[in-house]
Amino acid sequence: MLRTLLLCFAVLLSFFTQAQPTASPGQRTYCNPLNLDYGYTPIPNFSEAGRHRATADPVITLFKGDYYLFSTNQWGYWHSKDLYGWKFVARSFLKPQHKVYDDLCAPAVFVLGDTLLVFGSTHEKNFPIWMSTNPQANEWKEAVEPFQIGAWDPAFFLDDDGKLYLYWGSSNEFPLYGQQISRKTFQPIGQPKEMFGLNDERFGWQRFGEYLDNTFLDPFMEGAWMNKHNGKYYLQYGAPGTEFSGYADGVQVSDQPLGPFTLQAHNPFAYKPGGFARGAGHGNTFQDTFGNWWHLSTMVVAVKNNFERRLGLWPAGFDQDGVLYTNTTFGDYPHFLPTGPEDHLKSRFAGWMLLNYQKPVRVSSTLGGYLPNYAVDESIKTYWSAATGNRGEYVQTDLGGLSTVYAIQLNYADQDADSSFLGKQRGIYHQYKLWHSENGRRWKLLVDKSRNQTDVPHDYIELSAPVRTRYLKLENVHMPTGKFAISGLRVFGQGSGSAPNPVRGFVVLRTEKDKRSAWLKWTSVDGAYAYNIHVGSRPDKLYSCLMVHGQNEFYFKGMDKDQPYYFTIEALNENGISPRVPVVKAL
């Protein structure tokens, strides 16, 4: 009898443990890249190295109290009430006569009164502007057919005097253009006007290439976007190439919607060349329901194709001097979602450090050279792949000691995806179990998504309560296609030790020959896994951040040769952040 009771108790205890909710019903935080059910590239010759997810060139617009997100080639769009949970609406905006792959490539999205309007990139006069008063119900009709301007990377801007403008351009030869558009007929008024172009001889960040060396092509200028703030017009643009870590957004400012424009000293204003997922170019700047500013942009993968990309969301704003900034510090770590008006100059970073950078890994199997530690090397470009996509394949990470875990991000990679996966795939899903252990022998179920029916390529789990543990194991149950492959099993929380000491010996050697570039050096800090270098145009405006892993030098090639720069640095480990060193001026 006693044995029977004990057995029943054990079964009930097991059921109780597995049935407990493990994620907050309402997430307080999010983590880049955004966890969207990204479509696969629809272009066959873009996926000869393997079918893969891809999107870029995003726009978020607030319409009737909800957020709408459009981006390149998704065969639809998303809507959300909180900037975290996104629901996809399937919709093609191509008509039978449009013999192209691009369905809303780099879309323009804008609001006129009670109507949401959308227009996709084209070099021809053959696309309509679509309109809807009820986009959640997928109710659309043509506002004008066809629109009489062939515009690639278009962006509409409605001024507060009721005048409507269009900006466009995507070229490594031509500048951005702007033109007034009739608000009633959507016909062009007057002639297009040149706004401005790039000047990579002055601005180092505008040089083409991963190493900003202009050795392959001249730099591209694209992705126009306009905001108005305190009577000033901020015309934003992406450069120098969407394939590279330094893909960024710059801005120029004017008193008039069509210029002339002058340079903002802080440029680029959206910049993220380091970390797990890099790039912060070609996006849009918008306000949330509380009036806070955010910048949405493109992040780079560029493994199976140059145009393999994801989306990132960053706190942004205008400082007291009217300087437009984007806060990308710890930009792919957990950040708090908005709950009211916020000062985005103060970090929204949750303070949860990465606990498993380059820590020991165990796996169920390995496919070729897709090695286990690629799952914890803080690079979205590298990934571990199991030999199969079968149930039971796993990857296990050792935090090196007992730590307090607050959140986990699972970044899946595309390995051997089905050849039919071209364009948006419906009805696909990931299923997994996430286990934890204090000693690597006795395991407890932490997250159970073995019945999940959603597509979560960058799943982010904020635990309802932190857990004290050392080992985590991600066990595959179901893959939507291909092998079980992970580019980042990222564990966030607090370690049990001390934050690193401050950096010593920080020097900035700005070259005499080329003032666009500098060599930054410092003494390695024991126990630090990375460093944040903060840089800006003034000592009180260090708005750009460069995260550097596992080295004690960095070649910064992103400066305006005609102005001084200011630098400081801090060291990072799983326990926290060191104090910053005194600001260094580089003439």
Q: Which two tokens stand for residue 413?
A: 């990679």
Quote the number of domains for the chain: 3
169 domain residue, yes or no: yes
CATH number, domain at 546? 2.60.40.10
Residue 9: predicted pLDDT: 37
343 domain residue, yes or no: no
Q: Is 217 in the same domain as 364? A: no
**Structure pTM?**
0.94
6 domain residue, yes or no: no
Residue 193: CA atoms inside 13 Å, Cβ hemisphere, count?
16
Q: Is 208 left (phi over 0), alpha (psi -120 to 50) or beta?
A: beta
Domain boundary among 494, 525, 541: 494
486 domain residue, yes or no: yes
Residue 15: predicted pLDDT: 33
Q: Is 381 in the same domain as 266? A: no
Q: Is 423 in the same domain as 470? A: yes
Residues of the chain with pLDDT under 50: 1-24
Residue 512: predicted pLDDT: 86
172 domain residue, yes or no: yes
395 by DSSP, 3-state: which?
Answer: strand
Residue-range definition of the domain harbouring residue 520: 504-586
State the DSSP string of 215-284.
SSSPPPBEEEEEEEETTEEEEEEEES-TTSTT-EEEEEEESSTT---EE-SS-SSB---SSSSEEEEEEE
Give the number of other CB atoms < 10 A from CB of residue 87. 12
Domain boundary among 494, 520, 551: 494
Spatial CB neighbours of 532, under 8 Å, sequence gap ≥ 6: 329, 330, 545, 546, 547, 548, 569, 570, 572, 577
State the DSSP string of 434-454.
EEEESSSSS-EEEEEETT--S
Say which residue the tokens 């789990």 belong to.
461
Residue 97: predicted pLDDT: 86
CATH number, domain at 363? 2.60.120.260
> Which of 429, 437, 435 has its CA nearest to residue 475?
435
The one-letter amino acid code at 391 reads R
What does R_g of the chain's alpha carbons equal in angstroms? 24
CATH number, domain at 119? 2.115.10.20
Q: To which H or E segment does residue 141 belong?
A: strand 139-144
Cα–Cα distance, 41 to 419 (Å, whole number): 12
357 domain residue, yes or no: yes
Cα–Cα distance, 356 to 371 (Å, whole number): 16
Q: Is 135 in the same domain as 267? A: yes
Say which residue the tokens 């995260």 belong to.
547
Q: Is 139 in the same domain as 228? A: yes
11 domain residue, yes or no: no
24 domain residue, yes or no: no
Domain boundary among 336, 365, 399: 336
Cα–Cα distance, 163 to 258 (Å, whole number): 12
Say which residue the tokens 């290439």 belong to.
209
